[in-house]
Structure 1
Amino acid sequence: MIYRDPAPPYRPEADRYGGMAYVRCGRSGLKLPAVSLGLWHNFGSVDRYENARAMALRAFDLGITHFDLANNYGPEKGSAEETFGRILAEDLAGYRDELVISTKAGYGMWPGPYGEWGSRKYMLSSLDQSLTRMGLDYVDVFYSHRFDPETPLAETMGALAHAVRSGKALYAGVSNYPPEATREAAALLRELGTPLLIHQPKYSMLERAPEAELFGVLEDEGVGAIVFSPLAQGLLTDKYLDGIPDDSRAAKATGFLREDQVTDDVVETVRQLREVARTRGQSMAQLALAWTRRRPEVTSTLIGASRVEQIEEAVEMLSQAPLADGEITEIETILGR
Structure 2
Amino acid sequence: MAVLLRISPGEPTIRWPGRPAEPRSRVKIVTYPPGYTAASDRYDTMTYRRSGRSGLRLPAISLGLWHNFGAQRSYEVERDIVLRAFDLGVTHFDLANNYGPPPGTAEETFGRLLAGDLKAYRDELVISTKAGYLMWPGPYGEWGSRKYLTASLDQSLRRMGLDYVDVFYSHRFDPDTPLEETMMALDAAVRAGKALYVGISSYRSEQTAQAAAILRDLGTPLLIHQPSYSMINRWIEDDGLLDTLEEVGAGCIAFSPLAQGLLTDRYLNGVPADSRVATSVFLSESDLTPERLAQVSALNELARARGQSLAQLALAWALRDPRMTSLIIGASSVAQLEANVAALDNLEFTDAELAEIDKLL
- TM-score, length basis structure 2: 0.91
Paired with 1:163 and 1:129, the residues of 2 have a C-alpha distance of: 13
Q: What is the deviation of 1:254?
A: 4.3
Q: Residue 236 of structure 1 aligns to which amino acid in structure 2?
A: L
Q: Which residue matches 1:281?
A: 307
Q: Residue 312 of structure 1 aligns to which amino acid in structure 2?
A: E
Q: Please show how residues 292-307 of structure 1 align to structure 2 within 5 Å.
A: 292-307=318-333
Q: Please show how residues 22-101 of structure 1 align to structure 2 within 5 Å.
A: 22-101=48-127
SS across alignment from 1:73: coil
Q: Please show how residues 7-26 of structure 1 align to structure 2 within 5 Å.
A: 7-26=33-52
Counting matched residue pairs gives 334
Instruction: Please list the CA deviations of residues 148-197 of structure 1 after superposition, one character each: whole Å capped at 9, or x if unmatched.
Output: 00000000000000000110000010001011010000000000000000
Verify the 8 A CA contact 2:258 2:264 in the aligned structure 1: yes
**Corresponding position: 1:152 with 2:178:** yes
Q: Please show how residues 182-197 of structure 1 align to structure 2 within 5 Å.
A: 182-197=208-223
Q: Which residue matches 2:244?
A: 217
Query: Radius of gyration: which is bigger?
Result: 2
Paired with 1:193 and 1:95, the residues of 2 have a C-alpha distance of: 29
Q: Which has the higher contact order (CA 8 A, sep 6+)?
A: 1
Q: Residue 303 of structure 2 aligns to which amino acid in structure 1?
A: A
Q: Which residue matches 2:268?
A: 241
**Corresponding position: 1:327 with 2:327:** no
Verify the 8 A CA contact 1:249 1:255 in the aligned structure 2: no
Q: Which residue matches 1:227?
A: 254
Greater shift, 308-317 or 29-38, is seen at: 308-317
SS across alignment from 2:253: strand
**Unaligned 5+ residue runs, structure 2?**
1-5, 7-27
Paired with 1:287 and 1:75, the residues of 2 have a C-alpha distance of: 29
Distance of aligned partners of 1:333 and 1:261 in 2 relative to their CA distance in 1, 3 Å threshold? closer
Instruction: Please list the CA deviations of residues 188-230 of structure 1 after superposition, one character each: whole Å capped at 9, or x if unmatched.
Output: 0000000000000000001001112111100111110000100
Distance of aligned partners of 1:124 and 1:150 in 2 relative to their CA distance in 1, 3 Å threshold? same
Paired with 1:131 and 1:325, the residues of 2 have a C-alpha distance of: 46
SS across alignment from 1:309: helix
Verify the 8 A CA contact 2:317 2:347 in the aligned structure 1: no
Structure 1 segments of 4 or more deviating over 3 A? none
SS across alignment from 1:239: helix
SS across alignment from 1:332: helix
Q: What is the deviation of 1:258?
A: 3.2
**Unaligned 5+ residue runs, structure 1?**
none
Identical pairs, percent: 63
Paired with 1:58 and 1:18, the residues of 2 have a C-alpha distance of: 14
Instruction: Please list the CA deviations of residues 89-127 of structure 1 after superposition, one character each: whole Å capped at 9, or x if unmatched.
Output: 000000000000000000001000000000000000000
Paired with 2:344 and 2:268, the residues of 1 have a C-alpha distance of: 25
Q: What is the deviation of 1:246?
A: 2.1
Paired with 1:15 and 1:5, the residues of 2 have a C-alpha distance of: 28
Q: What is the deviation of 1:321?
A: 4.7
Q: Residue 253 of structure 1 aligns to which amino acid in structure 2?
A: T
**Corresponding position: 1:134 with 2:160:** yes
Paired with 1:186 and 1:275, the residues of 2 have a C-alpha distance of: 41
Q: Residue 219 of structure 1 aligns to which amino acid in structure 2?
A: E
Please point out which of 304, 308, 312 is paired with 2:338: 312
SS across alignment from 1:54: helix
Q: What is the deviation of 1:7?
A: 2.2
